[in-house]
Every structure is written in structure tokens, then in C-alpha cells.
Amino acid sequence: MNININNQMKKKKGFLVIAHGSRRDEANQQVLTLVKRLRDYFQTDMFEGAFMELASPSIKDGIKTLSEKGIEELIVSPFFLFTGMHYSKDVPALIREAIEEIDGRIGFKMLKPVGMHPDIFDLLKDILYEDAADQLEFKHLHPHRIEDRSMEIIENYIGNNNIPIEQKPVIKRVIHTTGDLDFLKNMVFSEEAVSEGLKAVREKKIIYTDVTMVQAGINKRFGHEVRCVLNSPEVVRGAEIEGMTKAAYSIKMLNHRLDGNIVAIGNAPTALAALVDMIRHENVRPALIVGVPVGFINAMESKEYLRTIKEVPYITNRGRKGGSTVAAAIVNALIKMGFASVAEF
């Protein structure tokens, strides 16, 4: 299955990571290793590293390499700490000079230096962790206070992030379940995703899952029916005949039974891609898609493919993270919001 998640993009982009450059080859190699990891992460060779001075490749060399790959727009990520003279004057001048000489049709955009990124706190936290960890002390809390205190800590991290109020309980539940604050910034909600999800859970629509782990993790206290057909004989046989994963075939087999119901996918990118295809080409219309597959192959791609649809509301996240616990946490958050006046869980 080949899916094109870039059909909205009009320009082919190249990405140039620029560092100052050092007389120490070891320091320069660290930058080039970083670029190699970016290529692996995004599964593309459209990333190049370059140095302002003292090392190779130069900025001109990096732009030339990307130009030979047919780029129309250059995205420059300066590997500097702050917006000093190199960022504001020297590097843009070198880029303009190189583009004018190589291919004047290429446009470029400068991103902010790494020191301006809000995650600089996380970087410093990780650097300090080993020296600070031996100062940690075990906290004795009443069992009823543990979750409340956890949510208070998460709320402090959320701070002034301008997260829409209806999304906050979902994001907080995911962070609480995973212990991973990255979900604070990588969750993605389509328009009316929460309101449509709440409507579906209050009406006790069927919740279909891609794997049994998601099925097992969803709270059924209020009588919600949660189905997973992954291991049915029909799916096992059909997947083998069609040469598909069982998860993808199970979604394909369910087809219009998904209409008006919730689909929660936490494991299988193939299932999510198959579902998006069915929405596009077979007019399948779930009430809500929770699409957060985890992994290194096609997890990001399937989630970006999901974000191309307009016909069905969805909740997803950017990047490779996700999984069954995340999918279940999102659905559980909606259930808790939908039945908050009945009971807490």
C-alpha cells in the first residue's frame, strides 16, 4: 500500500542543518551524525549538514547537494543557541549568495535556533538528571491523593500552553498513563473531535479496536461494548489470502459496520491506513477515529495520512510514539468526561 501524505504540498523541500564549524573533527562529526539520524527518522535523504566556516561541507556545498535533488524550497535549521549575529546576518548572507550562484529560483526559510526552542528545559533536565537523581526522595501519599497529585503536576507543566479546554482532560489522561510529557505538544485533534467523541460515548456507540490490548484497556464500567475481530478465523484466513496484516484486514472486513461508531487504533499503522482509504473511497464514516499507532515503520506516515481527511473527526499524535495504552487512555478520557456526573474512575 502506497499512500501519499504530501498531496497538499506544492514545493519539494530540502533541509539544511547549519553549525558554526570547528577545528576539531570530532565536534563536526557530531553534527553530521545528528543529520544522519534526522534522515533515518524522517526516512528521506533530503537532509544535509553544513558549516559556516572551519569545516566541510560548506553552506554552499550543502545547498548544491540539495539543489541536485531538485528542491524548490530550502528549510534552514541553525544549530546555534541564540539569535546572535551569525543567525541574523552572517548565515542568511551566505545562503543568499549560494542560492544566487547555484539556482536563484530556490526560496529559503530560517527556523529559530535550538536555544530558542521550549524543549531546551527538557535538554537541560536530561543533562542534570544523573547528578540530581540521588537527591530524590520517595513520597508517602494517601492512595486517593496519588492520581490527584499526578494531575496537579501535569497541570503545572501544561501552564500557559493555550490548549483548548475540551482537549486538556484527554491530554492529561494520556500523559498520566504514559508518564511522557511529550504528549503535551504532539497531540492533534481535528475540529469537533472531542465533542463528537463525547456524543458517541454518551450514546454508547460500539468501540472497535485494532488489537486486543486496546480492547482490554478500555473501561467498560458504563456498559460500552468494545469489539476486536483481529483473531477471528475469517480475519486470519482473509489476511493470508489477501497478503495483508490481520489488523488491516479486520478493518477492511468490518467496513460499514464502523459507521457511526468509534474506531481506536493503537498498534497497527496498516489498519489506520486501510481505514483512511475506506473513508476516501468507500464512504465509510465512523463517529470518531482514535489513531495512535506506535513504531518505526509507517506509524508516522499513517498518522499524517489520517490528518489529510476532512470527513471524519479524529484524535492522533505526531511522531512514532503511541500504542495500545495511549489509544485506551484517549477513549477512557472521553468516557470519564461523558459520565463524570455519574461516577469517577
pLDDT single digits (tens) 219-240: 999 999 999 999 999 999 999 9
Considering only residues 156 and 225, tell me which one the structure prediction assigns the higher pLDDT.
Answer: 225
Q: How many domains does the chain fold into?
A: 2
- 102 in a structural domain: yes
Residues 22 and 64 both lie in one domain: yes
- As given in the structure block, the three cell numbers for residue 339 are 459520565
- 6 in a structural domain: no
- 327 in a structural domain: yes
pLDDT confidence of 160, banded at 50, 70, 90?
low
pLDDT digits (tens, 9 = 90+) for 82-98: 888 999 999 999 999 99
Residues 255 and 318 both lie in one domain: yes
Instruction: From residue 70, give the alpha-carbon distance in Å to each of 11, 47, 108, 201, 260.
Output: 10, 13, 14, 49, 44
pTM for this structure? Answer: 0.69
Residues paired with 291 in a beta bridge: 265, 316
pLDDT at residue 70 tops 60:
yes
Full residue range of the structural domain in which residue 38 is found: 13-116
- 2 in a structural domain: no
- Report the candidate in 157, 155, 78 with the shortest Cα–Cα distance to residue 122: 157
pLDDT digits (tens, 9 = 90+) for 244-273: 999 999 999 999 999 999 999 999 999 999
Residues 319 and 212 both lie in one domain: yes
Residues 333 and 261 both lie in one domain: yes
pLDDT at residue 207 tops 80:
yes
User: Which residues are the active-site residues?
Assistant: 176
pLDDT at 144: 82
Residues 60 and 148 both lie in one domain: no
Residues 20 and 61 both lie in one domain: yes
Least confident of 10-19, 120-129, 233-242: 120-129
Q: How buried is 55 (Cβ within 10 angstroms: 0-12 exposed, 13-18 middle, 19+ buried)?
A: buried
Residues 291 and 173 both lie in one domain: yes
- 324 in a structural domain: yes
- 263 in a structural domain: yes
pLDDT (mean) for 325-340: 96
